[in-house]
Amino acid sequence: MEYTEKVMEHFMNPKNVGEMEDASGIGTVGNASCGDIMRVFLKIENDVIIDASFKTFGCGAAVATSSMATEMVKGKTIQEAMLITNKAVMEALDGLPPVKAHCSTLAEEALQAALWDYAQKNDIVIPGLEEPKEHDHHH
């Protein structure tokens, strides 16, 4: 299986790893097929994502996509962040091996779950955002 240079770079040297104490929204999702878990933290001010981080119990591809996804959302408005799909993240990484494509959906889902959490906490509606399927009530 072949990983691109960008995937390797983000896997070996992931950006934005760690918990965020004062996160505005936290999203946790799991991948049913492999059992891996992804958690994304967002700090949002005036509709702009000013910081993002993640923690994962996931494979290398999940680490690389989350690293890239958290880099991509920083400085974006909520509406712009909604456009960051797993496809966009994969493109930014110059692609993933097909068997690893599902791993990148974890990053997208965790991102959206974090936005959902933020919307719930602030009593706002984010157009186009749906309630995450898997919701972690245990943290």
Give me the residues that bind ligand FES (CB under 6 A), please.
31, 34, 36, 58-59, 61-62, 103, 106
* 3-state SS, residue 4: coil
Q: Choose between 11 and 41: whose C-beta lies nearer to ligand FES.
A: 11
Per annotation, catalytic residue among 12, 13, 19, 34: 34
Is residue 34 among the annotated active site residues?
Answer: yes
Q: How far is the CB of 97 from ligand FES (least distance, A)?
A: 11
Q: Choose between 73 and 103: whose C-beta lies nearer to ligand FES.
A: 103
In order of 43, 49, 55, 120, the CA distances from 102 in angstroms are 26, 25, 18, 27
Q: Choose between 95 and 119: whose C-beta lies nearer to ligand FES.
A: 95
Per annotation, catalytic residue among 103, 107, 111, 113: 103
DSSP per residue, 79-135: HHHTT--HHHHHHHTT---GGGHHHHHHHHHHHHHHHHHHHHHHT---TT----SS-
Q: Choose between 68 and 103: whose C-beta lies nearer to ligand FES.
A: 103
Is residue 59 among the annotated active site residues?
Answer: no
Q: How far is the CB of 123 from ligand FES (least distance, A)?
A: 32
Q: Alpha-carbon distance 128 to 61, whole Å?
A: 27
User: Which residues carry out catalysis?
Assistant: 34, 103
